[in-house]
Amino acid sequence: MTYDDFRASLSLDAPPSDLPETVAALWHLDKDDWHAAHEIVQAIESRDAAWVHAHLHRVEGDLWNADYWYRRAGRARPEVSLEDERAAMIAELLGA
């Protein structure tokens, strides 16, 4: 799946079944369901999930908690917009 395919899938009622869980979480976030996204990544123990978790708390405005999850992901909080970060995350997590 490409980033453009991901964007097109947002017209669906559910995320495509072949999405990695971390990307499915971002799909829910893009559909304005922060809680569904959070539930998904909260249940995964990986650096990628920690990165998505960090982004979710950044979206929420909880920067202290976001920074904790960025550290768990081995990353620093980016200086880009939320939208730019999310696009880069999706592309990277899809392997693009």
Model confidence over 8-58: pLDDT tens digits?
A: 999 999 999 999 999 999 999 999 999 999 999 999 999 999 999 999 999
Rounded mean pLDDT, 51-80:
97
- Reading the block at residue 17, the tokens are 């079944």
pLDDT at 82 (0 to 100): 97
Does residue 74 sit in helix, strand or coil?
Answer: coil
Q: Is the pLDDT assigned to residue 67 strictly greater than 70?
A: yes
pLDDT at 40 (0 to 100): 97
Angstrom distance (rounded) from CA 96 to CA 90: 9
Query: Residue 96's pLDDT band (boundaries 50, 70, 90)?
Result: low
Architecture of the domain delimited by 3-93: Alpha Horseshoe (1.25)
Angstrom distance (rounded) from CA 4 to CA 62: 29
